[in-house]
């Protein structure tokens, strides 16, 4: 293999065994039940609930619809304190609900800084929407304290946090709701897909009504719901994916350790370390290119591309700097110094279970 000619992407989806998927497809074909709470939907929901160690899971067609529905579930209105250091879907979900995003600065690891939240609370604030960035848990205890003091709801964008736990408790058990994404680029994928995790049966029922137009039964519509249902093909694919997830995490952990070892002595390259008490999913490997590195972040990014390494700048540009959001008063750069600086420094290096040791060594040799 000529490593220099092959494109190496930031991620590659893990796919289920084709024969096993075909077997499942045959069952779907025979049943002629292809969406709307089919047999695989039910099995997948139950298996996920058990695997993740949570009370209730509601499957969705994708993570963005799940975020939008989570906000509707709790009737969130007014202003929501959130992070600009995320994928655009986090803020867009607020926008689609006519909620005003209020941007809060982050810590150097990219997670929302709880010490900056309190001063952003106004009479209009109803909730906090943090992200577990790169699957590293946000400061859930401090966030909950603030939410309890001020009577706010907490919805976590847990798009990156599949399988992550803190002190042996799933990170999805924190806050009022957590939202997962199962997009092809995520550590666990159903091609497109997502879920809301909640902690009681009534909320689960409401979420299930909302994702199915608001139907409680054939003639009763209890809410102006949306169509956000996961179909049977996605669910069958997900059941197969779940069987191999632990194995995939192990492979990504090895790659993470190799990157960390090889990158330790490179001046100007900051790497995030393992968090105490946290079981990680190793879905991302961001590095931060600081001032004392000989090249700018973008020069290094270009150099990697010239060598067929398609790393990405997750998350750049910062959401608060996009023209659609930059006129908000909370979007001012001097309110968000850390978020602005890490967005200018970050490069997400390739990481996926089948990435070979040779390729990792090649990437690091370029850096
Ligand atoms: N919240 C957060 C924090 C999120 O990160 C996301 C999604 C969401 C919410 C929303 O959840 P979803 O509605 O998506 O379920 C990608 C994904 O489209 C997006 O799902 C993801 N975050 C985001 C971080 O990344 P792009 O535009 O960077 O993806 P794209 O198409 O450039 O793909 C990146 C690389 O992945 C490619 O260079 C190669 C590889 N790839 C991609 C696909 C689609 C493959 O190898 N095969 C594939 O099929 O947004």
Residue nearest to atom 46 of ligand 1 (CA): 12
Q: Is the CB of 190 under 6 A from ligand 1?
A: no
DSSP class of 334: G
Atom of ligand 1 nearest to the CA of 64: 13
Of 66, 106, 185, the one to substitute when testing ligand 1's pocket (max ligand atoms within 8 A of C-beta) is 185
Residue nearest to atom 36 of ligand 1 (CA): 11
| Residue 263: pLDDT band with limits 50, 70, 90 | very high
What would the two tokens of residue 236 be? 């069958």
Question: What is the C-alpha separation between 70 and 194, in angstroms, rounded?
Answer: 12
The CA dihedral of 311, 314, 111, 230, to the nearest 10 degrees, is -110
Of 301, 299, 280, nearest to 348 by C-alpha is 301
DSSP class of 295: S
Please give the average per-residue pLDDT across 270-297, as a whole number: 97
316: phi then psi, degrees, rounded to nearest 5: -145, 135
**Please, which residues have CB within 8 angstroms of residue 252's CB and are 6 or more apart in sequence?**
187, 281, 282, 283, 351, 352, 353
18-240: which CATH topology? Answer: 3.40.640
Atom of ligand 1 nearest to the CA of 181: 15
- Residue 127 pLDDT > 90: yes
Longest dimension (CA), the chain: 67
Cα(147) to centroid(ligand 1), Å: 30
Cα(182) to centroid(ligand 1), Å: 10
pLDDT given for residue 6 in this prediction: 87
pLDDT given for residue 233 in this prediction: 98
Question: What is the C-alpha separation between 334 and 37, in angstroms, rounded?
Answer: 48
Residues above pLDDT 70, as percent of the chain: 99
pLDDT in tens, 174-201: 999 999 999 999 999 999 999 999 999 9
- Residue 1 pLDDT > 50: no
Q: What's the residue count for the chain?
A: 367
Cα-based distances in Å from 310 to 32, 306, 318: 41, 9, 20
Residue with token string 């209009």:
124
Question: What is the C-alpha separation between 28 and 259, in angstroms, rounded?
Answer: 42
Q: Is the CB of 189 under 6 A from ligand 1?
A: no
Q: Is the CB of 232 under 6 A from ligand 1?
A: no
Question: What is the C-alpha separation between 353 and 188, in angstroms, rounded?
Answer: 11
What would the two tokens of residue 340 be? 């602005």
Residue with token string 């990680």:
280
- Residue 272 pLDDT > 60: yes
pLDDT given for residue 16 in this prediction: 95
Q: Is the CB of 86 under 6 A from ligand 1?
A: yes
pLDDT given for residue 3 in this prediction: 54
Please give the average per-residue pLDDT across 252-258, as a whole number: 98
Cα(96) to centroid(ligand 1), Å: 20
Of 12, 91, 156, 183, the one to substitute when testing ligand 1's pocket (max ligand atoms within 8 A of C-beta) is 183
Cα(87) to centroid(ligand 1), Å: 9
Cα(186) to centroid(ligand 1), Å: 7
pLDDT in tens, 3-48: 557 899 999 999 999 999 999 999 999 999 999 999 999 999 999 9
Atom of ligand 1 nearest to the CA of 182: 15
Please give the average per-residue pLDDT across 119-142, as a whole number: 98
Cα(247) to centroid(ligand 1), Å: 22
Question: What is the C-alpha separation between 237 and 16, in angstroms, rounded?
Answer: 7
User: Do the bridges between strand 79-82 and strand 125-129 make them parallel or antiparallel, or are there none, so unpaired?
Assistant: parallel
Question: What is the C-alpha separation between 272 and 278, in angstroms, rounded?
Answer: 13
What would the two tokens of residue 187 be? 């550590």
pLDDT given for residue 5 in this prediction: 73
Q: Is the CB of 114 under 6 A from ligand 1?
A: no
Give CATH for domain 245-366. 3.90.1150.10
Please give the average per-residue pLDDT across 304-331, as a whole number: 98
Please give the average per-residue pLDDT across 146-170, as a whole number: 98
List helix spans (H) across 53-182.
63-73, 89-96, 140-150
Residue nearest to atom 11 of ligand 1 (CA): 63
Q: Is the CB of 284 under 6 A from ligand 1?
A: no
pLDDT given for residue 4 in this prediction: 58
Cα-based distances in Å from 181 to 2, 82, 114, 161, 209: 34, 18, 24, 9, 20
Cα(151) to centroid(ligand 1), Å: 34
Question: What is the C-alpha separation between 264 and 270, in angstroms, rounded?
Answer: 9
| Other beta carbons within 10 Å of 124 | 12
Q: Where in the chain are the domains?
A: 18-240, 245-366
| Residue 2: pLDDT band with limits 50, 70, 90 | low
């Amino acid at each position: 293999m000529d490593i220099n000619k092959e494109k190496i992407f930031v991620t590659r989806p893990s796919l289920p065994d084709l024969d096993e998927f075909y077997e499942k497809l045959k069952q779907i074909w025979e049943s002629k039940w292809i969406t709307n709470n089919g047999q695989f939907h039910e099995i997948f929901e139950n298996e996920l609930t058990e695997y993740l160690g949570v009370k209730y899971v509601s499957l969705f067609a994708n993570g963005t619809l799940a975020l939008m529905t989570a906000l509707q579930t709790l009737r969130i209105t007014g202003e929501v304190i959130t992070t600009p250091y995320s994928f655009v879907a986090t803020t867009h979900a607020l926008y689609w609900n006519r909620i005003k995003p209020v941007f809060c600065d982050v810590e150097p690891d990219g997670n929302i800084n709880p010490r900056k939240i309190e001063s952003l609370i106004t009479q209009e604030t109803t909730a906090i929407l943090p992200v577990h960035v790169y699957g590293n848990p946000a400061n859930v205890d401090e966030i909950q304290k603030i939410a309890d003091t001020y009577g706010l709801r907490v919805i976590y964008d847990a798009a990156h946090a599949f399988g992550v736990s803190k002190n042996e408790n799933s990170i999805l058990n924190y806050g009022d709701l957590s939202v997962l994404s199962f997009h092809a680029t995520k550590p666990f994928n159903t091609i497109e897909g997502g879920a809301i995790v909640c902690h009681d049966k009534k909320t689960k029922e409401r979420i299930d009504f909302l994702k199915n137009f608001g139907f409680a039964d054939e003639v009763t519509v209890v809410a102006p719901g949306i169509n956000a249902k996961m179909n049977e093909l996605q669910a069958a694919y997900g059941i197969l994916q779940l069987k191999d997830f632990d194995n995939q995490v192990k492979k990504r952990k090895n790659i993470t350790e190799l990157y960390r070892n090889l990158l330790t002595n490179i001046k100007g390259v900051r790497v995030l370390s393992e968090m105490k008490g946290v079981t990680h999913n190793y879905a991302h490997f961001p590095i931060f290119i600081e001032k004392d590195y000989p090249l700018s972040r973008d020069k290094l990014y270009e150099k990697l591309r010239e060598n067929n390494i398609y790393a990405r700048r997750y998350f750049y540009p910062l959401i608060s700097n996009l023209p659609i959001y930059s006129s908000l008063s909370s979007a001012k750069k001097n309110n968000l110094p850390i978020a602005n600086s890490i967005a200018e420094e970050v490069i997400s290096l390739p990481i996926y279970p089948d990435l070979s040791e040779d390729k990792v060594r090649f990437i690091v040799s370029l850096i």
